[in-house]
A and B are shown apart, each in its own frame.
Chain A
Amino acid sequence: MGLFDKFKNIFSKSKSEELETYEKGLQKTRHEFTSKLKLLNSKYKKVTNEYFDELEEILIMADIGVNTVMDFVDRLKRRVKKENIVDSKDLLDIIVDEMFIIYVNNDVIVNKINYAPSGPTVILFVGVNGVGKTTTIGKLAYKLVNENKKVLLIAGDTFRAGAIEQIIEWGEKTNSKVISSKDKDPSSVIFDGINLALEENYDVVLVDTAGRLQNKDNLMKELEKINRVIGKIIPGAPHETLLVIDATTGQNGISQAKSFKEITDISGIVLTKLDGTAKGGIVLAIKETVGVPVKYVGLGEKKEDLQVFDIEKYIYGLFKNMEDEND
């Protein structure tokens, strides 16, 4: 089965318009597929141990989880043996195929926002410090406002210096109302905001929270409380809890996802700063171990630089731009 068919199958449950955007995106990625993987294949015509060593290097350099890579390479080796694959070019499709399997893992991947059937949809943003939570909120607000939604932003980060001013600026940029308070704790600001959203019939509420390292117990408890507060006002909310992860994050990303998942019901990941050289491969390991898919990727500092995650584009991207080494 061709790669694209597989892709279509996976997303067959998603709407056709979405598929169209993907197809458009794909043409570009196919075209750009001048990859390290191809270089590897021109270097090794036959599948050898050295071939696997270098493949492993490529994958690890992309920050895919170490265990995920080791299992992956082992599985490939078994398949090569079983199917008697000798030429490396026959392995190309299998590699991408297997990577897909890791990510998809028999799930129907939904990367759309889960909107509330009626009333405001509450989206909570969580993550460690400096990953880009507030910026992502600004960008998503821009996207939603363009879809003619009435958007409310809540400045739940009352800790970091300048955090409130930062979200207020985003509110101005995107014409969204911002709820904030300098002398209230996060839970009460959020309480006020959610109530206002109900009263004034907002469509979507984006809730910012302070960055917190996942091993800080008291901060994680605060997050638990925030969740409770939201759920009390609107049963079933937050409808989405998005964990924001910096694409440069290494193996610690797994720890982040696990710890946040324990406290809040993480429904998706936003992978930020993917416009740099970082590959953000850790999201593959996160999907494999914690089961949370990526919903959005951040690709720049401008308000329109937030895109819906495209797994195939992403997997091809893993093997790109790495041809700078000649050793």
Chain B
Amino acid sequence: MFESLGDRLQSAVKKIRGYGKITEDNISEVTREIRLALLEADVNYKVVKEFIANVKEKALGEEVAKSLKPGEMFVKIVKDELVSLLGGEKADLYVDGNPSILMLVGLQGAGKTTMIGKLGLMLRKKYNKKPLLVACDVYRPAAIEQLKQIGRELNIEVYDEGKNDPVLIAKNAINYAKENKFNYVLLDTAGRLHIDEALMDELNNINTDVKPDEILLVVDSMTGQDAINVIEGFNNTLPLTGAILTKLDGDTRGGAALSIRHLTNIPIKFVGVSEKMDGIEPFYPERIATRILGMGDIMTMLEKAEEVIDQDEAMKTAKKLEQGKFDLEDFLSQLKQIKKLGPLENIIKMLPGVPKELKNVKVDPKDMAHIEAIILSMTPYERRHPEVLKATRKLRIAKGSGRSVEEVNRLLKQFEEMRKMIKQFKNGNFKMPF
């Protein structure tokens, strides 16, 4: 919906190419565009100001002036600057305590309770730890019940004392964890406003009494300019060791991440990426930078692809592509691989340089199933030689797949176009966006 910074950058780069040289004059229009895009991504106003000043200074510097491709250099400066603002490396979770105590804090509705479940599952599955979930939110109606249900679903034990004093619950839970040899204690606290003194005191008391190894602030990635007030509010009361960014599976750009990292220096440790309990990922600064820029998240896509794609199959297809051969059999196997990657629109979004009209395309999983049915109704010979498909064969295929002849035709046409594109790719005519 927003014109992404990626799109803005592309047009900016074209302009700079035209100038051949970056000057104070011609750059101001470009930096205005970047400024708008960053603000639309909810990056903090002050950070944007500083960012633009830095980019300007570097872009006008020696290196770029001498560069043969000032446009490309400029994009690189913008991205590098963003990554450095987000903090270079990813930060890991504290593991050495016995048990290690984690406390999650944040505003109401940020997603703390869900995140506790996700962390618990991750600790058990990936790290082979025994986590205990502790219900310290005694205020919100049914918050305890929510955690218990999550515990039941994941088969992870939940400690609760009903609506007792949260400080006491936390203390007792830790003793219980020690006795029963849990490796991790995850404290779920009630959502609260950073300006609510009484409730902030309560967190402070938990902190003094049980000394958590990690205090993680859970932040909704859709948060706007107020993010900085929230983060500073919590950070002033509690020694935060990290932050978790939730609901990143929405279409927000997550500029709040910059506020966290740059204005407070707290590392972001994890991000929440779906409503399912395995929807948690480590935070990679580089990736969020490309997301804020709207440049696509090719790294995440590649990683996902690596997890699900059959290497041998992929090699076979790659070879065929190289030879300029690509038939419906390959198309079918590609389709099956892609299906494993999840909803197609998610994949499209991760690709850099995809035109924005295409980014909003909704792909119905049923369409994919129809295409599969049509191809499967062809004989292997037909799949390898689609050119033999004439009226009667098409009619048979349509009947066999339960689709119409028009749909068969449409598929064949799309396939032909794809083939042409692949040939272009092979001949090196395919242009990368940057």
Contact = CB atoms under 8 A, between A and B. Distances in A.
Do chains A and B stick together as partners?
A: yes
Interface of A: 57, 60-63, 66, 70, 128-132, 138, 159-166, 168-170, 173, 213-217, 246-255, 258, 273, 275-279, 281-282, 301
Contact of A130 (B111, B193, B227): B111
Interface stretch (B82-90, B94-102, B249-257, B370-378): B249-257
Nearest to B46: A57
B252 A248 contact: no
Given A66-B40, A130-B111, A255 B251 contact: yes
Interface of B: 1-2, 36, 39-42, 45, 107-111, 113, 117, 139-143, 145-150, 153, 193-195, 220, 222-227, 229-230, 233, 247, 249-253, 255-256, 275, 345, 362
Contacts of B256: 250
B195 A276 contact: yes
21 contacts: A66-B36, A128-B222, A128-B250, A129-B247, A130-B110, A138-B141, A161-B145, A161-B150, A163-B146, A169-B141, A173-B141, A214-B250, A215-B249, A217-B345, A250-B227, A253-B222, A255-B251, A276-B230, A277-B233, A279-B226, A281-B224
In this complex, which of B2, B225, B233 has the most chain A Cβ atoms within 10 angstroms of its Cβ?
B225
B222 A162 contact: no
In this complex, which of B139, B148, B222, B275 has the most chain A Cβ atoms within 10 angstroms of its Cβ?
B222
A281 to B, nearest CB: 8
Nearest to B49: A57
Contact of A129 (B111, B223, B253): B111
Given A130-B109, A213-B250, A252-B250, A165 B224 contact: no
A315 B111 CA distance: 30
B181 to A, nearest CB: 27
A255 B253 CA distance: 11
A61 B143 CA distance: 32
In this complex, which of B113, B142, B145, B146 has the most chain A Cβ atoms within 10 angstroms of its Cβ?
B142
Contacts of B42: 250-252
A160 to B, nearest CB: 7
Main secondary structure of the interface of A (DSSP, over half): loop
B195 A277 contact: yes
Contact of B225 (A128, A213, A250, A276): A250
A161 B109 contact: no
Nearest to B36: A66
Contact of A166 (B108, B142, B251, B255): B142
Contacts of B222: 128, 246, 248-250, 252-253
A132 B335 CA distance: 40
A57 B48 CA distance: 11
A273 B225 contact: no
Contacts of A254: 1
B119 to A, nearest CB: 15
Contact of B109 (A60, A129, A166): A129
Contacts of A277: 193-195, 226, 229-230, 233
Contacts of B140: 166, 301
A165 B139 contact: no
A63 B146 contact: no
Contact of A278 (B146, B226, B253): B226
Contacts of B249: 213, 215-216
Contacts of A128: 222, 247, 250
A165 B145 contact: yes
Contacts of B146: 160-163, 165-166
A258 B1 CA distance: 9
Contacts of B107: 248, 273, 276
B142 A251 contact: no
A215 B251 contact: yes
A251 B109 CA distance: 18
B48 to A, nearest CB: 9
A190 B250 CA distance: 26
Given A129-B275, A161-B146, A276 B226 contact: yes
Contacts of A60: 39, 45, 225
Given A128-B250, A249-B223, A250-B224, 4 more contacts: A129-B111, A251-B42, A277-B229, A301-B140
A248 B223 contact: yes
The 10 tightest CB contacts between A and B, nearest first, are A250-B224, A162-B146, A130-B109, A169-B141, A165-B142, A250-B42, A166-B142, A161-B149, A63-B224, A278-B226
